[in-house]
Amino acid sequence: MAADRCPAAHAEDPTPCDGGQVVRVVDQQGTGVSACIHHGARLYASLIRPRVYPLAGHDGAAIEVYNLARVLRPFPWVHENGYRGLI
Ligand SMILES: [Zn+2]
């Protein structure tokens, strides 16, 4: 299942990609992964000091990810899945 999702999809996040990989999300250590809009936003919302760049030919995608991430909580799948572990 995980194999056909973008590299930004978290293993515990069951949601599918919403399209092709159009951005690169980079963490504060400089490690980057390619992402669809959906998982790019969710990863961006979960990182400390992330950056997001559009991949070639997708100039508006980084702004779209940024705007979506602003209204997400970090690790949103934890809340959506009814996670009952220790927080
Ligand atoms: Zn994805």
Distance from the alpha carbon of residue 10 to the mean position of ligand 1, in angstroms: 9
Classify residue 9: in a domain, yes or no.
Answer: yes
> Which of 37, 36, 45, 31 is CA-nearest to residue 78?
45
Distance from the alpha carbon of residue 85 to the mean position of ligand 1, in angstroms: 25
> Which of 79, 11, 69 is CA-nearest to residue 38?
69
Classify residue 65: in a domain, yes or no.
Answer: yes
The total number of structural domains that make up the chain? 1
Distance from the alpha carbon of residue 34 to the mean position of ligand 1, in angstroms: 9
The yes-or-no verdict on residue 87 having pLDDT over 70 is: no
* Whole-number pLDDT of residue 83: 57
Classify residue 87: in a domain, yes or no.
Answer: no
> How do residues 32-55 score in pLDDT, each as one tens digit?
999 999 999 999 999 999 999 999
Distance from the alpha carbon of residue 8 to the mean position of ligand 1, in angstroms: 6
* Whole-number pLDDT of residue 37: 98
> Which of 26, 30, 21, 28 is CA-nearest to residue 61?
21
| Separation in Å, CA 54 to CA 17, 57, 81 | 16, 8, 29
> How do residues 5-22 score in pLDDT, each as one tens digit?
999 999 999 999 999 999
- Confidence (pTM): 0.87
Classify residue 63: in a domain, yes or no.
Answer: yes
